[in-house]
Structure 1
Amino acid sequence: MYIVTLIFNDNKKKFTLLKNIKSKIKSIFGAKPKKNTLPAKTIKKEQKPAAETAEKKPVPKKKNYNRKPRRKETPEEYRARHENRKQSQQEKTSTEKTSSPKAVVSEPWDSSVFKVPVKDGKTRFHDLDFPVEILRAIYDLKFEYCTEVQAETLPKALVGDDVTAQAQTGTGKTAAFLITIFNHILKNPIKDKRKHGTPRALILAPTRELVLQIEKDARELGKYVPCNILSLLGGIDYGKQQNILKREAIDILICTPGRLIDFMNKRIVDLRKIEILVIDEADRMLDMGFIPDVKKIVYATPQKAKRQTMFFTATLSGDVKRLAESWTRQAFEVVIKPDEVAVDTVEQITYITTVDEKFTLLYNIISKNNLERVLIFVNRRDEAKKLIDKLEMHGISCALLTGDVEQKKRISRLERFRNGKVRILVATDVASRGIHVEAISHVINYNLPQDSEEYVHRIGRTGRAGASGISISFADEEESHNLITLEEFLGKKVECIFPEENLLEPIPEGVKQKRKPRPKSYPKKKYYPKKNTRPRGKK
Structure 2
Amino acid sequence: MLGKWFKRKAEAASAAPRQASSDATPQASQGARQADGKPRANTQSGSRSNKAAKHKPGSAGKQNARSDRAQSDRQQQNSGKAASGDANANANGKPRRRSRRGGRKAREQRAEQAPWSLSEYVVAEKPGFTRFHDLELPLDVMHAIADLGFEYCSPIQADVLPHTLDGYDAIGKAQTGTGKTAAFLITVLHDLLNNPVQGERYAAEPRAIVLAPTRELATQIADDAKALCKYTDLHVVNLIGGMDYDKQRNKVVERFVDIVVATPGRLIDFIQRRDISLKLVDIVVIDEADRMLDMGFIPQVKRIIRETPEKHYRQTLLFSATFTEDIMRLSQQWTKDPVRVEIEPENVTADNVDQRLYTVSDKEKLPLLEKIIQQPDVSSVIVFANRRDQTRRLYEHLKSKQVACGILSGEVSQQQRTRTLNRFKQGEIKVLVATDVAGRGIHVDGISHVVNFNLPEDPEDYVHRIGRTGRAGAKGVSISLVGEGDAFMLMDIETLVGKKLPCEPPPESLA
The aligned length equals 415
Q: Aligned AA for 1:237? A: D
- Equivalent-residue separation in structure 1 for 2:377 and 2:502 (angstroms): 25
C-alpha separation in 2, matches of 1:380 and 1:312:
26
Secondary structure in structure 1 of the residue aligned to 2:428: coil
Is structure 2 residue 272 aligned with structure 1 residue 272? Answer: no
Residue 186 of structure 1: aligned partner: 193
For residues 413-466 of structure 1, the C-alpha deviation after alignment (integer angstroms, 9 at most, x for no partner) is 011111111111000122232212122222110111122222122222223465
Contact 1:171 1:464 in 2 (8 A): no
- Map 1:19-168; keep pairs closer than 5 Å: 96-98=100-102, 101=105, 105=110, 106-168=113-175
Decide whether aligned partners of structure 1 residues 189 and 270 sit closer, same or farther in structure 2, where only a CA change above 3 A counts. Answer: same
Q: Please report how far the alpha carbon of residue 473 of structure 1 lies from its aligned counterpart in structure 2 after TM superposition.
A: 0.7
Matched, 1:243 2:247: no
**Does the C-alpha gap of structure 1 residues 468 and 118 become closer, same or farther in structure 2, counting only changes over 3 Å?**
farther
Q: Provide the residue aligned with 1:385 in structure 2.
A: 392
- Give CA deviations for 1:345-402 in whole Å, capped at 9, x if unaligned: 4332111122232233223323223312211101122222222233223332110111
Partner SS, residue 457 of structure 1:
helix
Q: CA RMSD for the aligned pairs?
A: 2.1
Quick one: which of 426, 430, 443 aligns to 2:437?
430
> What SS does structure 1 have at the residue aligned with 2:305?
helix
Letter in 2 for 1:472: I
Comparing both chains, which one has the higher relative contact order based on Cα–Cα distances under 8 Å and sequence gaps of 6 or more?
Answer: 2
Query: Given that residues 165 and 191 in structure 2 are in contact (C-alpha distance below 8 angstroms), is that contact kept between their aligned partners in structure 1?
Result: yes
Instruction: Give the corresponding residue for 1:216.
Output: 223
1:479 matched to which residue of 2?
486
Q: Which residue of 2 aligns with 1:170?
A: 177
Residue of structure 2 equivalent to 1:406:
413
SS at 1:97's partner residue?
coil
User: Which of 1 and 2 has greater Rg?
Assistant: 1
CA pair 151-141 structure 1, distance change in 2 beyond 3 A: same
Determine the structure 2 residue equivalent to 1:513. none
1:305 has 2:305 as partner: no
C-alpha distance in 2 between matches for 1:263 and 1:467: 41
Judged with a 3 Å threshold, the aligned counterparts in structure 2 of structure 1 residues 228 and 134 are, in CA distance, closer, same or farther, namely same
Task: Please state how far the C-alpha of 1:331 moved relative to its aligned partner.
Answer: 0.9
2:303 to 283, 287, 296: 296
Shift of 1:119: 2.4
Of stretches 104-113 and 313-322 in structure 1, the one that deviates more from structure 2 is 104-113
Residues 1:198 and 2:205 aligned together: yes
Contact 1:233–1:256 under 8 Å retained in 2: yes
Cα deviation code 1:183-204 (max 9, x no counterpart) = 1111111122212111111101
- Counterpart residue identity of residue 153, structure 1: V
Aligned-residue offset at 1:213: 0.5
Instruction: Evaluate the alpha carbon distance shift between residue 333 and residue 346 of structure 1 in structure 2; reply closer, same or farther with a 3 A threshold.
Output: farther
Percent identity, aligned pairs only?
47
Do 1:172 and 1:465's aligned partners in 2 also have CA atoms closer than 8 Å?
Answer: no
The structural deviation recorded for 1:315 is: 1.5
1:474–1:345 Cα change, 3 Å: same
- Hey, what's the Cα distance between the residues in 2 that align with 1:354 and 1:138? 48
The CA distance in 2 between the partners of 1:262 and 1:112, in whole Å, is 46
State whether residues 235 and 406 of structure 1, in contact with CA within 8 Å, keep that contact through their aligned partners in structure 2.
yes
Secondary structure of the structure 2 residue equivalent to 1:350: strand
Instruction: Assess if the C-alpha contact under 8 Å between 2:406 and 2:431 holds in 1.
Output: yes
Query: CA, structure 1 residues 121+463, in 2 after alignment: closer, same or farther (shift >3 Å)?
Result: farther
Contact 1:102 1:227 in 2 (8 A): no
Point out where structure 1 has 5 or more consecutive residues left out of the alignment. 1-88, 505-539
Letter in 1 for 2:207: R
Question: 1:97 corresponds to which letter in structure 2?
Answer: R
Conserved in 2, the CA contact under 8 Å of 1:346 and 1:468? yes
C-alpha spacing 1:90/1:445, structure 2 compared with 1 (3 Å)? closer
Distance (whole Å) between structure 2 residues aligned to residue 502 and residue 276 of structure 1: 54
Distance 1:99 1:455, change over 3 A: closer
Counterparts of residues 367-386 of structure 1 (less than 5 Å): 367-386=374-393
Residues 1:418 and 2:437 are matched in the alignment: no
Counterpart of 1:228 (choices 235, 242, 249) is 235
CA distance, structure 1, for counterparts of residue 125 and residue 105 of structure 2:
37
> Would the alpha carbon gap of residues 95 and 472 (structure 1) be closer, same or farther in structure 2, given more than 3 Å must change?
closer
Q: Residues 229-262 of structure 1, C-alpha deviation per residue, up to 9 Å, x if partnerless?
A: 1111111120012223233221111111111111
Structure 2 counterpart of 1:495:
502
Give the aligned partner of residue 40 of structure 1.
none
Deviation at 1:487, TM superposition (A): 2.9
Deviation at 1:293, TM superposition (A): 0.7
Residue 341 of structure 2 aligns to a residue in which SS? Answer: strand
Match of 1:326 in 2: 333
Residue identity in the other structure for 2:325: G
Separation (CA, whole Å) in 2 of partners of 1:96 and 1:381: 43
Measure how far apart 1:99 and its partner are: 6.4
Please tell me the residue identity of whatever aligns with 1:145: Y
Shift of 1:334: 1.1
3-state DSSP class of the match of 1:253?
Answer: strand
- Residue identity matched to 2:293: L
Q: Indicate if the aligned counterparts of 1:194 and 1:249 stay in contact, CA closer than 8 A.
A: yes
TM-score, normalised to structure 1, is: 0.73
Change over 3 Å in CA distance of 1:98–1:330 after alignment to 2: closer
Letter of the aligned partner of 2:365 in structure 1?
K
Alpha-carbon contact 1:109-1:136 (below 8 Å) kept:
yes
The corresponding residue for 2:62 is: none
Q: Is the 8 A contact 2:359 2:481 kept in 1?
A: yes
1:276-287 correspondence to structure 2 within 5 Å: 276-287=283-294
- Higher mean alpha-carbon deviation, 296-305 vs 482-491, is at 482-491
- 2:477 pairs, out of 463, 470, 475, with 470
- The letter for the 1-side match of 2:383 is I
Question: Any unmatched runs of 5+ in structure 2?
Answer: 1-41, 45-96
1:448 is aligned, of 441, 452, 455, to 455
Query: What is the distance in 2 between the residues matched to 1:277 and 1:95?
Result: 24
Which segments of structure 1 move beyond 6 Å, counting only runs of 4 or more?
none
Deviation at 1:100, TM superposition (A): 5.2
Q: Which amino acid aligns with 2:302?
A: K
